[in-house]
Amino acid sequence: MSSATVSTTVSASVSASEWRSLASRIFAGEALGASEYFSMLHSVSWENLAEVARELRQRGKGNVITYSPKVFLPLTNLCRDRCGYCTFRRDPGQPGAHWMEPEEVLDVARKGEKLGCREALLSLGDRPEAEFPEARAWLATHGYARTLDYVAAISELLLAETSLLPHANPGLMSRSDLERLRESNASLGLMLESTSPALFALGGAHDDAIDKRPERRLQTIRQAGELKIPFTTGILVGIGESAADIVDSLLTIRGIHAQYGHIQEVIIQNFVPKPEIPMRDVPPPAPEYFARIVALARIIFGPGFGPGFSSGLGPQMNIQAPPNLSPAHLEMLLDSGLNDWGGISPLTVDFINPEKPWPQVETLRALAASKGLELRERLPVYPEYATQPEFFSPRVWQAMQSR
Ligand code: SF4
């Protein structure tokens, strides 16, 4: 599709001619203003946004849709934060409170290897030792002062003892934490979630989650850029943010990537209410609204935006939405321009959303094929980074050559 053939059925707030003009500028690679993106999200139909998003995906990614076969290793579910949507975290002594011992980690990783997994996702609660003496005691017994020390040691173990590539998602990281984890991780991750200040109001999703302060998370994401670490981030949709907050969050991520060129993937994740969470009565984002945000993300990160892409990485961002959180709307999400389904495990559940099973890979493959697309496996690192040794420690680079 060219900009000349963009559909013209738009809502009253953005006229057909205005939409044609916007689409032409998008296809020309122009970075639009926040108010223009907001107008699109607010006023342009999903069909029109998705049509443009699919064309941008085709230009940037061709007909390839990817996923990462992984094992999910929740090193601990103790956490000092209390996000209003979380069923993962525990206090010490609560039923299900858990640390994974190194032997348990290796056992799961080796089972995953046999099933074809290539990624070891280390996902866990944030700094439990800052609040709980029990956490400090467990770490001390194992020879560590901080949870992030244990994450680094387990990453080293996985890199040395298995064929899996570690990808840690351990919450806030300091510059020195990032430097150390870079030695053994192929990539690292930290969801921005949102730049919205409203989430910290009394009763908000993050009113008791100091580590979710956007300025602190943005500092980690920037420092990862300074250190040339392939990085995964994204937004969480439906936790109390406004549409303007969504645009601001995406543009903030884009601005950092334009500066450092290290963000390999933007995850668009939908909030899912559950009976046991404080936000149990908050409705989830409507599927079409969520799909519009996926399409808008593709448009915002589409080919050719802005300066700062002299790194040779190319400007085509990977856009992901977790398929297990939208099992009834996979086709709509694929039609909205995503090009990746994230980590999918043949072995371990999604410990953050254990009630949401992974889709069958063959289901995703058939869906892709029905659209003329091809589903392929990937490493935790995307192909456009995996050919550039400056993004990896020598040991990780060497390990990647045999994966
Ligand atoms: S979402 Fe993460 S940071 Fe928030 S309470 Fe759950 S485990 Fe902790």
Atom of ligand 1 nearest to the CA of 211: 3
Is residue 116 pLDDT above 90, yes or no?
Answer: yes
pTM over 0.75, yes/no: yes
Residue 8's pLDDT is 42
Record the tokens describing residue 134, joined without a space: 């029990």
pLDDT digits (tens, 9 = 90+) for 254-286: 999 989 999 999 999 999 999 999 999 999 999
The Cα 70–Cα 379 span in angstroms is: 9
Record the tokens describing residue 388, joined without a space: 């550039």
Residue of 89, 132, 236, 279 to test ligand 1 pocket, by largest number of atoms within 8 Å of CB: 89
Ligand 1 center from residue 59 Cα (angstroms): 37
Ligand 1 center from residue 81 Cα (angstroms): 6
Record the tokens describing residue 220, joined without a space: 């980690």
Band (10; pLDDT cuts 50, 70, 90) = very low
The end-to-end CA distance of the chain, in Å, is 37
Record the tokens describing residue 58, joined without a space: 């085709």
Atom of ligand 1 nearest to the CA of 85: 1
- If you take atom 2 of ligand 1, which residue's CA is the nearest one? 125
Ligand 1, CB cutoff 6 Å, lining residues = 79, 81-83, 86, 88-89, 125-126, 209, 211
Residues in the chain: 403
pLDDT digits (tens, 9 = 90+) for 66-78: 999 999 999 999 9
Residue 194's pLDDT is 98
Record the tokens describing residue 129, joined without a space: 């030792």
Q: How many CA atoms lie within 13 A of 114 on its CB side?
A: 6
Q: What percent of the chain has pLDDT over 90?
A: 86
Residue 14's pLDDT is 81
Ligand 1 center from residue 211 Cα (angstroms): 9
Ligand 1 center from residue 227 Cα (angstroms): 26
Record the tokens describing residue 144, joined without a space: 């560590």
Record the tokens describing residue 21, joined without a space: 């003009």
Ligand 1 center from residue 193 Cα (angstroms): 12
pLDDT digits (tens, 9 = 90+) for 284-341: 999 999 999 999 999 999 854 433 443 444 457 999 999 999 999 999 999 999 999 9
The Cα 72–Cα 106 span in angstroms is: 12
Mean pLDDT computed over 98-119: 97
Residue 316's pLDDT is 75
Atom of ligand 1 nearest to the CA of 212: 3
Ligand 1 center from residue 82 Cα (angstroms): 6
Residue of 86, 91, 172 to test ligand 1 pocket, by largest number of atoms within 8 Å of CB: 86
**Structural domains of the chain, with CATH:** 56-66+172-401 (3.20.20.70)
